[in-house]
Chain A
Amino acid sequence: MTTDSLLSVKNYNIVYQVETPVHAVRNVSFELGRGEILGLAGESGCGKTTLAYGINRLLRPPAEITDGSAIFHDESGVDVDINGLTVAELRRYRWDKVSMVFQGAMNALNPVINIQKQMTDIFSTHRPEMSKSDRIDECADLLDLIGVGRDRLRSFSHELSGGMRQRVMIAMALALKPQLMIMDEPTTALDVLVQRDILQEISELRHKFGFSVIFITHDLPLLLEISDRIAIMLQGEIVEYNTPEQIYRNAGHEYTDKLLHSFPSLTGERGGFVRSGEASALTREATR
C-alpha cells in the first residue's frame, strides 16, 4: 500500500436544517490513503451515510454542509476542493473520480430501462468521444469481469437477482476506473454466501485496479477482516479511528467495545465475539 493521501476530510459538519436542527455529522476528520480500505462502522442513524453522501455532495435540502473541507488529491497531482466545485465541475467529478455503490441494491437500478442503457449512460456523459460500439463493448466487458456475463446487457433490473443487481452496480462503479469507491452497505440485503462472493470480488478488483474504498457497514467483524483502517461513528462523531488490529486488541472507546461484543461467535469459545453474561447485559442496555 502506498501511503500518500487520496482524500483529506477536515472538521466536516453536516446539519439537517429542520425545525430543531439535527447535527448529523460533527467535526469529522480523517485521511484516506491511496489504495486503502477505510471501514466506517456504527449503528443505524449515526451519520455514516450522510457523511458518505456529503463527500460526494449528494445531499439534498434540508441537509447542509455547515463547516469543514474535503480535499481530493487527484492522481494528476491536482488537489480538488470538493465543496468548492461548481455544478458542472461537480458533475464531471462524480463517478469519474468517486463512484458509489448504494445501500438499496434492489432499487438503485432504473426499473424501466435496460442495463445496457444505464451503463452506456456513464460513458456517453463522461467519455463523449467514445463510439457507440466501443461503449457497448466496454459495458459487456465490465459485466463479464464482475461475473454477471455479457448476455445480461439487455436485461432489466427485475429480471436479475439481488446479488446480480449489486454486481451490476459494482460493474457500473468500475466503469470509469475511479480512484475512490464509496460502498454504502453494499451487501446488507444479501445472504452471507453472496455477500462473501461479492466481498472477494471487490477485494480482487481493488488489487487489480488499485482504487481506494470507503466501506460503510454496521458489521464490525466484517470490517476487521477487510479494512486497512476503521472509523467508528457514534451520534455523528468519529469516536475511534485506528487500524483493525488496534481496534480488535484494545478498543479505546467503550462504544467500540460494545459493538465488538454485539456479535456472537460461531464456535462458542470465549473470545472477542462471545456474548458473555456481561456482554449481553451490555446489549440489553443498548437496545433499551
Chain B
Amino acid sequence: MNYLARKISFYVVALWAALTLNFLIPRLLPGNPVEILIQKLAARGPITPELRNSVELLLGDTSNDPIFVQYVNYLKGIFAGDFGVSITYYPQPVVEIIAQALPWTIVMIGIGTIIAFVVGITLGMLAGWKRGSWLDNLVPVTTMFQAVPYFWLALILLYVSAVQFKIFPVSGGYSYTGAGPSWDWDFISSAIYYGTLPALTIVISSFGGWLLGMRNMMVSTLSEDYIVTAEAKGLRPTRIMMAYAARNAILPSVAGFAISLGFVVSGSIVTEQVFSYPGVGSTLLQAVNNNDYSLMQGLFLVITLTVLGANLIVDLLYTVIDPRTRARS
C-alpha cells in the first residue's frame, strides 16, 4: 500500500509538471490567437474595435492579467473540463472536438498496438522455445517490415489492398453514406471495416520488434537453471514454456509495451494522415496548421495524460508480474 501511495504521488507530481509546461510553452511561442481569428474575419469585412473586443472576450484573452492569475485560471479551467474554444472548428469547444476524435484513435490504434504485442510475443515465445525451427525464418522478414519507413509501407498496403483489389476502403473512419456515429450495428460494422486496414499496417510494421525481443529473451531464459529444474521435475512442456520460460522472458517486453501504449495517442499522426482517419492525429495536424493554440494545448494535455496513465498502469502491473520489484518494508 505504501508502495502504491508513493507511486501515485510520483505521478501526481509528474502530472503537475506536465500541466505547467503545457501552460508555459504556448505563451512562449510567437503569434496570438486573437490576431489569427481577426485576420480570418477581416476577409469578410472591416474590423471594428467592438468586434475585436468581443473576439478577445470570446477566446478568453486574458493576456492583460498577471501571469500567475492566468496560471490559476488555467488550472481551474482544466479541472472544470474547460479547455477553451477552437479556432479551426469555431465555435466548437476544444473538449467536444477531443471527445469526438479520441475514441477513434484509442480504439483503432490501441487495438492495433495490442494485437501487434500479443502476436509478436506469442510468435517470439514459440520461436525461442523451438529454436532453429521454421519460425526463426520469420525474424528477418518481420524485421524488414519494421525497417521500411512506416508511411511508405502504409501507402503500399493502401494502394494494393484498397485501390488495386478494393478489399478495404481508401480513406475515412466509417461509411459516410450511412447515418452518423451511433451505437447500432450498421455503424459499428462499418467502423470495424474502415479501421481494419490502418490497424493492420500498425500490426505488420511493429510486431517484428516484439517477436525478436521475446525470442531472444526466451533463448537466454531457457538456459537458466530453473528451467533445468522444471525439466527434472518432469513438468509438462507447455507448463515449462508458459510458467517458467515465457513468464520470465516477457518482463522486459512489458516495460517496452508501456512506452508504446503511451504513444498510442500521439504516434497516430502518420497513420491517420495516410488513411484520412478522423482521430487525434489528424486533429492535431489541423490544429498546428491553423495555429489553433487552445486545441493544441488540449491535445497535448490528452497525450500527456495517456502517456502518464499508461505508464502508471504498467508500473502497477509490473509489481504484480515481477515480485522482485515490490518494495520490501
Residue pair B232, A112 in contact (C-beta under 8 Å): no
A153 to chain B, nearest CB (A): 14
B146-154, B271-279, B321-329 - the one binding chain A: B321-329
Query: What 0/1 readout, one digit per residue, does chain A (47-64) give for beta carbons within 8 Å of chain B?
Result: 000000000101000000
Residue pair B324, A110 in contact (C-beta under 8 Å): no
Query: Is residue B186 contacting chain A, with contact meaning CB distance below 8 A?
Result: no
Option from B231, B234, B248, B251 in Cβ contact (under 8 Å) with A110: B248
A19-27, A100-108, A205-213 - the one binding chain B: A100-108
B309 to chain A, nearest CB (A): 25
B325 to chain A, nearest CB (A): 10
Inside 8 A of B235's CB, which chain A residues have their CB? 91, 121-122, 125
Query: Is residue B159 contacting chain A, with contact meaning CB distance below 8 A?
Result: no
Query: Is residue B27 contacting chain A, with contact meaning CB distance below 8 A?
Result: no
Option from B226, B231, B234, B328 in Cβ contact (under 8 Å) with A109: B226
Query: Is residue B228 contacting chain A, with contact meaning CB distance below 8 A?
Result: yes
B108 to chain A, nearest CB (A): 33
Residue pair B233, A122 in contact (C-beta under 8 Å): yes
A109 to B236: give the CA distance in the assembly, Å.
Answer: 17
A174 to chain B, nearest CB (A): 13
Residue pair A126, B323 in contact (C-beta under 8 Å): no
Residue pair B323, A110 in contact (C-beta under 8 Å): no
Inside 8 A of B231's CB, which chain A residues have their CB? 58, 94
Residue pair B232, A58 in contact (C-beta under 8 Å): yes
Query: Is residue A93 contacting chain B, with contact meaning CB distance below 8 A?
Result: yes
Residue pair B232, A111 in contact (C-beta under 8 Å): no
Q: In the complex, which residue of chain B has the Cβ closest to the Cβ of A182?
A: B232
Residue pair B244, A102 in contact (C-beta under 8 Å): no
A114 to B225: give the CA distance in the assembly, Å.
Answer: 16
Residue pair B239, A94 in contact (C-beta under 8 Å): no
Residue pair B247, A109 in contact (C-beta under 8 Å): no
Residue pair A56, B224 in contact (C-beta under 8 Å): no
Most chain A C-beta atoms within 10 Å of own C-beta, residue among B228, B229, B231:
B229
Residue pair A111, B324 in contact (C-beta under 8 Å): yes
A90 to B235: give the CA distance in the assembly, Å.
Answer: 10
Residue pair B234, A93 in contact (C-beta under 8 Å): yes
A217 to B144: give the CA distance in the assembly, Å.
Answer: 50
Q: Known: A100-B232, A156-B323. Contact between A113 and B247, CB under 8 A?
A: yes
Query: Is residue A253 contacting chain B, with contact meaning CB distance below 8 A?
Result: no
Residue pair A125, B236 in contact (C-beta under 8 Å): yes
A53 to chain B, nearest CB (A): 8
Option from A102, A107, A121 in Cβ contact (under 8 Å) with B239: A121
Inside 8 A of A126's CB, which chain B residues have their CB? 234
Q: In the complex, which residue of chain B has the Cβ closest to the Cβ of A93?
A: B234
Q: Known: A111-B324, A112-B247. Contact between A125 and B228, CB under 8 A?
A: no
Of residues 220 to 258 in B, which have CB atoms within 8 Å of A's CB atoms? 224-226, 228-236, 239, 243-244, 247-248, 251
Q: Known: A111-B248, A156-B324. Contact between A56 and B232, CB under 8 A?
A: yes
Residue pair A110, B226 in contact (C-beta under 8 Å): yes
Residue pair A108, B243 in contact (C-beta under 8 Å): no
Residue pair B225, A104 in contact (C-beta under 8 Å): yes
A121 to B224: give the CA distance in the assembly, Å.
Answer: 18
Option from B225, B229, B234 in Cβ contact (under 8 Å) with A92: B234
Query: Is residue A158 contacting chain B, with contact meaning CB distance below 8 A?
Result: yes
A91 to B233: give the CA distance in the assembly, Å.
Answer: 8
A103 to B322: give the CA distance in the assembly, Å.
Answer: 25
Q: In the complex, which residue of chain A has the Cβ closest to the Cβ of B244?
A: A110
Query: What 0/1 readout, one digit per residue, does chain A (76-111) give for beta carbons within 8 Å of chain B?
Result: 000000000000001111111001101110011111
Residue pair A172, B230 in contact (C-beta under 8 Å): no
Please give 16 more A-B residue pairs, beta carbons under 8 A apart, in addition to A94-B233, A103-B225, A112-B247: A58-B231, A58-B232, A94-B232, A100-B232, A102-B225, A102-B232, A110-B247, A111-B248, A112-B321, A112-B322, A113-B247, A117-B243, A121-B233, A125-B233, A125-B239, A126-B234
A-B contact list, 8 entries, CB within 8 Å: A99-B232, A99-B233, A104-B225, A108-B226, A108-B228, A110-B244, A112-B321, A125-B239
Interface residues of A (CB under 8 A from B): 56, 58, 90-96, 99-100, 102-104, 107-114, 117, 121-122, 125-126, 156, 158-159, 169, 172
The 3 closest A-B pairs by CB, nearest first: A94-B234, A107-B225, A104-B225
Interface residues of B (CB under 8 A from A): 224-226, 228-236, 239, 243-244, 247-248, 251, 321-324, 328
